[in-house]
Amino acid sequence: MDPGVDNQCCDIILEYLIHSCYKDTARAFVQESKKLHSYCADPPAQGHLVLGHSTDTAWLMVDARKGDIPKAFDLIQKRFPGLLEDPGRLDNARASKVMFKLRCQQFIEIIRSSNEVEAIQYARQHLKYMSKDKEYQEMVTEVASLIAYDEPQHSNQAHLLSQDRRRQLADEVNGIVLAYCHLPEQTSVERIQRQFQVVNYELETLDSADDKQSSREKLSM
């Protein structure tokens, strides 16, 4: 393979690993790439990347997926403090919404630990200030309903306690952190995949149209 093309492929792979917070794999890939390209005067362009951002977001996603929301907020405070501004003042409505969802998730995790008193105190302190907004009010109403059940994990609101909810929220947090750091939310691999799907769909559509045209021509004979 041409060294230039090879380097571009390495950059695309590394970008995906960093974007997806596979920090250890990304670090190992960088080291292996250096070995493979030691003969080359033009090493992969992203080989010099500092993986600090990847490490921060990786730990942030780990904390969110584990339900350790206080640790997630601590990391956000240290590394991405702008995301913790008053939601009413945040220019990015999406970031404001995700941060509030993270607050709601902390309430859920408190309920999971069966500490209703602490949950009520937390709600009064952190979930009340946006209650006038209808969308935020609906989020609060949804999670607050967990208090009504002795065993919320067996209630019709059990989905709020699911691991899927944690994972989805972790992905949303990762997205706003990438935007906050002025990094693309979609990797080159994902763009290539989408382009391939579009091209493949168009080709299938053209083939289908050609088949129909051919059938009409045969019938007209």
The contacts of residue 111 (CB under 8 Å, 6+ apart) are: 119, 143, 146, 147, 152, 161
185 located within any domain: no
The pLDDT of residue 130: 65
Do the domain assignments include residue 214? no
pLDDT digits (tens, 9 = 90+) for 93-130: 888 899 999 999 999 999 998 888 999 999 999 988 66
Rounded to an integer, what distance in angstroms lies between the CA atom of residue 78 and that of residue 96? 18
Pair 41, 113 in one domain: no
Same domain, 69 and 115: yes
Among 42-46, 51-55, 174-178, where is mean pLDDT lowest?
42-46
User: Residue 126: which of 65, 70, 57 has the closest Cα?
Assistant: 70
CA distance 166 to 156: 18
Tens digit of pLDDT for each residue in 11-41?
Answer: 788 777 777 767 778 778 777 776 555 544 4
Whether 147 and 64 share a structural domain:
yes
More confident residue, 27 or 202: 202
CB-based contacts of 55, cutoff 8 Å, min separation 6: 23
Q: Is the pLDDT reported for residue 48 higher than 50?
A: no
Confirm whether 215 is domain-assigned. no
Whether residue 92 is found in the same domain as residue 44: no
- Note whether 104 and 127 are within 8 A (CB): yes
Shared domain for 147 and 66, answered yes or no, is: yes
- Whether 82 and 172 share a structural domain: yes
**Within-domain flag for 198:** no
The tokens of 43 are what?
Answer: 């090493």
Same domain? 72 vs 131: yes
Residue 203 falls within a domain, yes or no? Answer: no
Assigned domain for 25 exists: yes
Range of the structural domain that residue 145 is part of: 54-180
What's the pLDDT score for residue 18? 72
Mark whether 43 and 101 lie in a shared domain: no
| Residue 49: band (very low, low, confident or very high) from pLDDT cuts 50, 70, 90 | very low
Q: Does 77 lie in the same domain as 8?
A: no
One domain for residues 22 and 83: no
d(CA 210, CA 213): 5
Residue 175 has pLDDT above 70, yes or no: yes
CA distance 148 to 116: 10
The answer to the question of residue 208 being in a domain is: no
Residue 73 CA to residue 57 CA, distance in Å, equals: 12
Q: Higher confidence at residue 89 or residue 133? A: 133
Question: Is 96 a domain residue?
Answer: yes
Looking at the structure of the chain, the number of domains it has is 2
The Cα 85–Cα 92 span in angstroms is 11
Asked whether residue 32 falls in the same domain as residue 6, the answer is: yes
132 and 39 housed in the same domain? no
pLDDT at 47 > cutoff 50: no
Do 87 and 96 form a contact (C-beta atoms < 8 A)?
yes
